[in-house]
A and B are shown apart, each in its own frame.
Chain A
């Protein structure tokens, strides 16, 4: 039987752009170019490697996001994923992590899965909570923050490098996995891959397809509210000296003045 892998990928504003908030205090996605979250490329990469090692596997990439999020799906398809699912609905604007995990969980149940692979965190919100929430909602094992992952005989195993220890984990499929940026460099799409991606199917789903009410998601359905967003005052310009042979001593003098020595 074919191994059904679904990779959750997010379309995010470019971190090197000038990111800011819109008037409703949601992330402004209009002024900054978007792209496939770099950290989700690692998830796509691991999915491709797992599929290569399996007898028969199919990779679906799944995103919840605006119209432009199709770009992220195309990128993942051009890396080698087989098909894509795009959950898109005007009522999704302003959805927080709890809402996103609800929509992703319903979409995963709709699409069908044996293995869900996520990135370690999205590069914009960066909460790093969606994979754990997905496992909770789906009622399947969570095998997260892996820097090494393998699937064999209906089991997923992997290494999780924590603060205090490095752990070897094991769980039966179906499961939710997340991988870190230590899991291995993501491949670049080949020209052939880019051309092939144009013909790969992208299915669109909206909230009603998933049986989700509009008030369960979006800004109004959010479980949290942002009341204020203020740009951090620019740090006051510091003192910069050129080392003419005494740079280390000058720095020590500064540190002593600040009572660090």
Chain B
């Protein structure tokens, strides 16, 4: 059976959920071989094996952290040459897309980004994408070279399928470009203790209607009552009420949770682009004409300062 390379997204060996989704999807095409760069391969290997990795190709070097993107491309290219895979799957993060893009140029292969589903086809893997602010759904294939495909978070439910997951060292010779862009310093983001926005099963977002940073705790309390991540519209972010890392939409994160709750958000096309594929959509907005109501499964026309606290209280008391 053909092998499929899966690029592992992890924090010091703690494998992030989108990688487990990739392993699950990779099994539809072939045998997943995970590529783990940086520290923690031995820790990660157990999880990767549980989700179907037959092999874990591991490389660790300071270059991965000290220089931007290119060292990782060099390593993925080395893995590609070692394995001759049927496809290469990479998580659709900002960095993941850049790694995939450069690999595709290097190996002379076509690339598909932001797939939301993947199936085996007669002429290679078929990727489903959602385009034009999710108003269309397309099915595409790579027609030249080895398909390089980036896959969005929440595209599949991770399914365990234990395999060997043998760790093998991957030899990487860094090219001249590898040290071109130096990471001079790095300030890690403080953890909020809430789920990762793109991975969360539930997202609660606030917009201009929240009317001030001082009111965002209202959104956070609702999110916490549901174990949800917090999102924000660009209007709320531009006003400085919430960090840009939490922005949902075209120039922020694209989310696809089981449940998306929008409070005080009008539903502009650029916002919809980042949340329209959510399974269930709920909105609270005082304007009955707000375009967000065209998308909802359930909408409340009302003042969020009344509705949100009542909802939070009701959830908290029901959960007891």
- Which A residues have a C-beta under 8 Å from some C-beta of B? 15-16, 19-21, 25, 39, 96-98, 101, 120-121, 123-124, 126-130, 132-133, 135-137, 139-145, 147, 157, 160-172, 175, 180-182, 222-232, 235, 238-243, 245-252, 254-256, 258, 260-261
Contact = CB atoms under 8 A, between A and B. Distances in A.
B98 to A, nearest CB: 4
A169 B314 contact: no
A169 B300 contact: no
A234 B138 CA distance: 16
Contacts of B281: 235, 238
A167 B310 contact: no
Contact of A243 (B177, B250, B301): B301
Contact of B143 (A25, A223, A228, A235): A223
A232 B138 CA distance: 9
Given A20-B136, A144-B98, A169-B182, A238 B298 contact: yes
25 contacts: A15-B269, A39-B251, A97-B111, A136-B102, A142-B68, A162-B95, A164-B188, A168-B186, A172-B180, A222-B110, A223-B143, A224-B110, A227-B139, A229-B137, A235-B296, A238-B293, A240-B288, A241-B300, A243-B303, A247-B307, A250-B300, A251-B307, A254-B282, A254-B298, A256-B318
B166 interface: no
B141 interface: yes
Nearest to A14: B269
A240 B106 contact: no
A22 to B, nearest CB: 12
Nearest to B282: A251
Contact of B139 (A120, A228, A258): A228
Contacts of A168: 183-186
A136 B300 CA distance: 50
A258 B136 CA distance: 26
B145 A139 contact: no
B245 A161 contact: yes
Contacts of A226: 138-140
B280 A141 contact: no
Given A229-B139, A258-B280, 7 more contacts: A163-B93, A169-B183, A170-B181, A231-B137, A243-B307, A249-B310, A254-B298
